[in-house]
Structure 1
Amino acid sequence: MNAMLPFPDISPEIFTISIFGTEFALRWYALAYIVGILLGWRLVVAAARAPRLWRNDRPVMTPGQIEDLLFWVILGVILGGRLGYVLFYQFSYYVANPLRILQLWEGGMSFHGGAIGVILAAFFYTKRYKLNTLSVGDLVALGLAPGLFLGRIANFINAELWGRPTNLPWGVAFPTQAAQYCPEVTGVCARHPSQLYEALLEGLVLGGILIWMAWRRGAFKSEGLVMGTFLAGYGAARFAVEFVRQPDAQFVSDGNPLGLALQSGGYGLTMGQLLCLPMILIGAFFILRARRNP
């Protein structure tokens, strides 16, 4: 049998309490959202309190305005993430069962949908209060990495969104029945821990680059540069991980074992890769625009 790592014995629920016969559980995934938002908020406030990071030593927002924007961002994450999952991944199912769209506790969130929700929320906020849209976008992009990192760690603890089967020594034997369904594998099936790949690339690496750009390279003085770097960086990281990430079950069939959403002649792209391409192109546009108009 190939070397592999056992799945850690961590319950998805941190604790459960019973109130009047009804059980309420705090899950790692919910805690990841809460802590990620709080860390991102504090990081953004720290940047707003450092005038030297900004053009003419004038931050685009005050800490009070950031707190006000935080509500809009949370709303954009929840609504955008849920609607994105419905539209991009399970459209026919939710058309047949529209009331289940509201059942958020059953899971089902799309990062790309959440990103669109955050972008729209920030856009309307800046127009309402007459703020520089690109500079606010830079500030919001800086605060996203902690949530991405913790969210992917929570995905790993939940034993969800795992990768394709692998014989590499760091392959993980996820315990769920779906993860262990590998017809081509004899015995225990080890899979790429793609959640941890994404936590490393999208959270630690990309977040570190954005912090370095803001504090060491004066990136906030070039409007759109931090936002463009985030969009292109996330898109590139997710596009690469998709090669080893197990696609959603609805895209997999006997004639399409790789779960490609767009294919021709046995080659193609997954839904995640299709959604990342516009992010990479838009991010590259804002990077070039910032470089040409410093």
Structure 2
Amino acid sequence: MPEPAMLFVLPFPAIDPTLIQIGPFAIRWYALAYIVGILIGWWYAKRLVSNTALWGPAGAPMKPIDIDDFVVWATLGIILGGRLGYVLFYDLPMFLAAPWQILQVWNGGMSFHGGFLGTVVAMILFARSRKIPTWSLIDVVAPSVTFGLLFGRIANFINGELWGRPTDVAWAIIFPNADGQPRHPSQLYEALLEGLVLFLVLRFFTHKQLRLRQPGFISAVFAIGYGLARIFSEFFREPDIQIGYLSGGLTMGMLLSLPLVIAGIILLVVASRRPVAAA
């Protein structure tokens, strides 16, 4: 590493991953990020449903109370799907050797793609049980997910995990649990792209383009936006040590995000052909 570049390395903020601990009971930043993300996402989803101007004369095909009831389903989908996804996609041999560690969510964390699939299953089942158009429910939930992505990636940074690749950029950080090399704070890149930028893009389509009136359109934009943001961030993120690089320099994050982008493009084409509800 060139000597001048080391002058610009930023110190890693000394933030305890455990926010509060009373005896055996502990509240970790990672868990708090999920809780806050779900609560704010819940509030935002109800705002979308309540805003009649976004839906046309017929109004939203669901009520705010439906969102209240769906929160429990979504929470289960996120936690069960996210954890199961990490176990299956990222470190299955280790968990097969020590299956009790599956319940230790702080050990390895969660997989977005697993949580995404778990939430999709929850939305399909809930929509059918309430006779709500499935794509309209997904369109409401999709923008609300960005809050959890934002806070979750910040929590990854606080935990000093999922760090980036070695670099000599001026904002490089030496993570205490890594190997002492200055690295990209890729967790913050993902927080910015998957959280803030994706939220603003979806906000444009829901409030300016009024695309909630075309079921599936917002869902498609979310799938494409997240997939591209994740693939881009993977160029700066160090692959999980137990997996490393795949064929052609790809990473597991890229491999799992590519089908999401392809499916999003197909859905975008289909949704764009649907008639828009009159203003």
TM-score of the superposition, structure 1-length normalised?
A: 0.89
Q: Give the aligned partner of residue 115 of structure 2.
A: 114
Deviation, 1:107, is 4.0
2:244 is the counterpart of 1:239: no
Change (3 A) 1:9 1:97: closer
Distance in 2 between the 1:245 and 1:34 partners?
Answer: 25
2:6 is the counterpart of 1:6: no
2:278 is the counterpart of 1:286: no
Gaps of 5+ in 2: none
Quick check: which one's strand share is greater? Answer: 1
1:178-257 equivalent positions in 2, closer than 5 A: 179-180=178-179, 188-251=180-243
Distance in 2 between the 1:155 and 1:269 partners?
Answer: 22
> Which has the larger displacement, 157-166 or 99-108?
99-108
1:1-294 equivalent positions in 2, closer than 5 A: 1=3, 2=5, 3-18=8-23, 23-176=24-177, 179-180=178-179, 188-251=180-243, 259-261=244-246, 263=247, 267-294=248-275
TM-score of the superposition, structure 2-length normalised?
A: 0.93
Q: Deviations over 1:51-99 (max 9, x none)?
A: 1111434112211110111100000001100110111011122222223
Distance in 2 between the 1:123 and 1:274 partners?
Answer: 25
> Which has the larger displacement, 94-103 or 198-207?
94-103
Query: For the Cα contact (< 8 Å) 2:48–2:54, is it kept in 1?
Result: yes
Deviation, 1:105, is 4.2
4+ runs deviating over 6 angstroms: none
SS of the equivalent of 1:144 reads helix
Distance in 1 between the 2:58 and 2:189 partners?
Answer: 37
Query: For the Cα contact (< 8 Å) 2:49–2:63, is it kept in 1?
Result: yes
Quick check: which one's helix share is greater? Answer: 2
Deviation, 1:11, is 1.3
The structure whose RCO (Cα within 8 Å, separation 6+) is larger is 2
> Which has the larger displacement, 143-152 or 5-14?
5-14
Query: For the Cα contact (< 8 Å) 1:55–1:220, is it kept in 2?
Result: no
Distance in 2 between the 1:15 and 1:172 partners?
Answer: 26
Amino acid at match of 1:205: V
Distance in 2 between the 1:211 and 1:249 partners?
Answer: 36
Q: Deviations over 1:80-125 (max 9, x none)?
A: 0011011101112222222322232434311100000000000111
Amino acid at match of 1:9: A
Distance in 2 between the 1:102 and 1:202 partners?
Answer: 26
Distance in 1 between the 2:31 and 2:113 partners?
Answer: 19
Deviation, 1:268, is 3.4
Amino acid at match of 1:134: W
